[in-house]
A and B are shown apart, each in its own frame.
Chain A
Amino acid sequence: EAQVTQNPRYLITVTGKKLTVTCSQNMNHEYMSWYRQDPGLGLRQIYYSMNVEVTDKGDVPEGYKVSRKEKRNFPLILESPSPNQTSLYFCASKYGTETLSGANVLTFGAGSRLTVL
């Protein structure tokens, strides 16, 4: 089954304790992205990757890191989490990286709910 898999789905942690949210897709998509969802704000893009070793900041990158060493994986790293990073996180992927691939549909993971105390 074609899918984007995120782990963990739920996590409660404390301020300053480094954590990683993994994301893996099995559709051979070039493009991957991370979003966070907060009430009233919809989903906002954190980072994206157009292909292996190519990553760039989205709208809200502060406090996050990413890497893209393999095509299928795109982990989100919180080096020193803070309470304002409490949110619902979504990883997504889609086919293509050229300009017109803006038309392509993003496939989302099931979401990871993170609470930072």
Chain B
Amino acid sequence: AQKVTQAQTEISVVEKEDVTLDCVYETRDTTYYLFWYKQPPSGELVFLIRRNSFDEQNEISGRYSWNFQKSTSSFNFTITASQVVDSAVYFCALSEVRAAGNKLTFGGGTRVLVKP
């Protein structure tokens, strides 16, 4: 069964600090997809990134970067030079290709609080 663990429930930083969010996943499938979503205080879920299991290249998008390591089943997310607008709950999620109903399994989320 697929499982996603985000061990950090809450992280508090001061603006301009870097923050790394950990995500560890479990799957028996060889083909799967990993996602990160952001949930700002307004409550909606915003898609950030998708990565497939065959692509271990790290990715950078502005101040956001992602480190995918199959060897440790991790897909960590780093915010560089954090800003107050980064304050949100961040969810890591996993989709197994063969999962019934194409289910997206979420981790428990990490709340990031960026203080000015």
Contacts and interface: CB of A to CB of B under 8 A. Distances in A.
Asked whether A and B interact, the reply is yes
Contacts of B99: 102
Contacts of B98: 99
Nearest to A107: B47
Given A40-B9, A111-B43, A48 B109 contact: no
Interface residues of B, number: 29
B52 A88 contact: no
Given A45-B104, A56-B100, A111-B43, A103 B109 contact: no
A43 interface: yes
Interface range on chain A: under 10, 10 to 19, 20 to 34, or 35 or more? 20 to 34
A105 B101 contact: no
B20 to A, nearest CB: 19
A102 B33 contact: yes
A106 B104 contact: yes
Interface string A72-99: 0000000000000000101000100101
B64 interface: no
A90 B99 CA distance: 20
Interface in B57-100: 91, 93, 95-100
